[in-house]
Amino acid sequence: MPGIPDHKDIQDGDSFQVTEARPEGMAAGYDHVFLIEAERAWKRAEQAKAAKDSTGEAGATAAAVLCAAAACEARMSEYLAQQEDTQQLDKWFVDCVRNERDALKQWRLLLLRRVPDFAAGTSTEYLNLGCLFQLRNVIAHRSALIRPYGEWPKQLRDCTTQNRVPADTQGTMDWTSVAFLSKVAEWSATTAEQWLSEMDRLGIKVSRP
């Protein structure tokens, strides 16, 4: 995975200090905190795989997915808060984005405003982000429906048939048996890291205290 920096300043709490000049100020930097936790979970999943601990591998993979998605949502949330505070985005627009329940659509709305020529339909980072959110949703809100072996949740079918989520869809096992694997943990952490890097490149950044 491309190097996630060792954010010692974040881990030590420096990035969460509120400035004296603005006692009502927001804490920032949770995108990197969650990203680091996603990477750690991926490493735990790899260790569990090596130890042939399928339960540990599944749990660590789930944690990697949840933290990776949280990292991308934290960037959105903190960016909107700072843009609203500095009045660089109108409140009505910020409210519109916040009221959208679909995390990927929130990003689409923001990109249309900030980077109108962003080609979402052909962006690997954007398409992978959508699959990360879908995977997070089926993990966090699992309905545990009875399905024939080898059948995936409908929310993930496009992501698996397009080989975006690295899971074996040709087998005859329950989908969770091939989704909660270390390679999916790696993909999740990498997807979040690449998305945040792309947002940095496009100027959608959060200023740190």
Where in 54-135 does DSSP place strands (E)?
A: none
Domain ranges of the chain: 29-201
Helix 54-85 vs helix 182-201: crossing angle, to nearest 10: 20
Distance in angstroms (rounded) separating the CA atoms of residues 98 and 77 = 8
This prediction's pTM: 0.83
Judged by phi (left if over 0) then psi (alpha if -120 to 50, else beta), residue 203 lies in: left
Mind listing the pLDDT tens digit for each residue in 184-194? 999 999 999 99
pLDDT for residue 49: 96
Mind listing the pLDDT tens digit for each residue in 113-137? 999 999 999 999 999 999 999 999 9
pLDDT for residue 163: 82
pLDDT for residue 141: 81
Mind listing the pLDDT tens digit for each residue in 49-105? 999 999 999 999 999 999 999 999 999 999 999 999 999 999 999 999 999 999 999
